[in-house]
């Protein structure tokens, strides 16, 4: 039983708030400062040890030299408060964030484009740091606590001034470095699909190594979800049908009376024109989101 357990002599676990790809997430309080935190927990028996890997990624992304591109003010990457283990688990302690971006979906088209631009800047920053996320989906983008307080006071997320919102990206357990010393990793096949099957790119379904282009395709699917409140294939688990629907998404949209905004379809189309090692034209995508 994790509730009321004390971690590192100061973090008291209060309640379970989520389930990550490879571990549980709990809300806790620092008993010395009364500050709320989030703790990701992974069993010590896990052979993957993804929390240890994820900790290094967070630290790397939050370490900037003078030559590095800075993270924009209205988006963020959580900082690590503590990483450690005991006889049972590995622990990753981070600041407590708000709800995921999909908690109030569907949004207006204008709101989706506003959120999309912020998420795009996060993806661009991560790619700039030579990392491909490989699990872009609504669950991995959260508002800050302050954003949620603003949302609750106004009672409508669609009416909030975007200046009040800070969006954070989380869950780097599946991410991968795609460049080493400026050299792109080679294209190869993978043993199985990587990331969420619902938001996976066409290449992911074909078990082809993921690169920046695949983060962008998943990003476009996420925009569609935020606008519609679901995806046409949301509950589908048959991989062959998923591939068909995603491959022929333009035809699918016509059957659905063109409910998917053209801008989102263009992002998908653009991502599929990119070769494995191609750089992404973020400015072009950003221009498509000027809804």
Exposure of 193 in the CB half-sphere (CA atoms within 13 A): 19
Strand partners, 28: 13, 37
Q: Which of helix, strand or coil describes residue 270? A: helix
Query: What are the CA-CA distances from residue 214 to residues 204, 206, 256, 272, 278 (Å)?
Result: 8, 12, 25, 8, 11
Alpha-helical segments (H) within 91-206: 109-128, 145-154, 202-205
Is 135 an active-site residue?
yes
Report long-range pairs for 23-30 (Cβ below 8 Å, ≥24 apart).
Answer: 23/50, 23/51, 23/173, 26/2, 27/96, 28/93
Distance between CA atoms of residues 142 and 89, nearest Å: 25
- Joined together, the tokens standing for residue 178 give 């795609």
Q: Which of helix, strand or coil describes residue 288? A: helix
Q: Which of 4, 88, 130, 135 is catalytic?
A: 135
Q: Three-class SS string for 1-67?
A: CCCCCEECCCEEEEEEEEECCCCEEEEEEECCCCEEEEEEEEECCCCCCHHHHHHHHHHHHCCCCCC
Residues with a catalytic annotation lie at 135
């Amino acid at each position: 039983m994790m509730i009321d357990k004390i971690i590192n002599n100061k973090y008291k676990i209060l309640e379970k708030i989520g389930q990550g790809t490879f571990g549980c997430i709990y809300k806790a309080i620092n008993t010395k400062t009364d500050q709320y935190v989030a703790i990701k927990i992974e069993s010590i028996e896990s052979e993957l040890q993804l929390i240890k890997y994820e900790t290094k990624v967070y630290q790397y992304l939050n370490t900037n030299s003078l030559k590095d591109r800075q993270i924009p003010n209205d988006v963020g990457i959580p900082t690590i408060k503590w990483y450690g283990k005991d006889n049972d688990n590995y622990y990753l302690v981070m600041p407590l964030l708000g709800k995921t971006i999909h908690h109030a979906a569907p949004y207006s088209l204008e709101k989706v484009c506003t959120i999309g631009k912020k998420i795009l800047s996060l993806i661009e920053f991560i790619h700039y740091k030579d990392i491909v996320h490989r699990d872009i989906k609504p669950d991995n983008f959260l508002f800050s606590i302050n954003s949620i307080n603003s949302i609750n006071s106004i009672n409508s997320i669609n009416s909030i001034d975007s200046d009040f919102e800070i969006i954070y990206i989380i869950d780097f357990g599946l991410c991968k470095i795609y460049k080493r010393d400026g050299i792109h990793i080679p294209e190869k096949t993978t043993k199985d699909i990587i990331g969420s099957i619902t938001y996976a790119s066409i290449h992911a379904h074909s078990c082809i190594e993921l690169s920046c282009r695949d983060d962008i395709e998943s990003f476009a699917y996420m925009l569609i979800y935020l606008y519609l409140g679901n995806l046409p294939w949301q509950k589908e688990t048959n991989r062959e049908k998923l591939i068909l629907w995603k491959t022929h998404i333009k035809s699918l949209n016509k059957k659905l009376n063109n409910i998917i905004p053209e801008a989102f379809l263009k992002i998908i189309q653009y991502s599929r024109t990119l070769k494995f090692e191609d750089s992404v034209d973020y400015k072009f995508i950003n221009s498509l989101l000027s809804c």
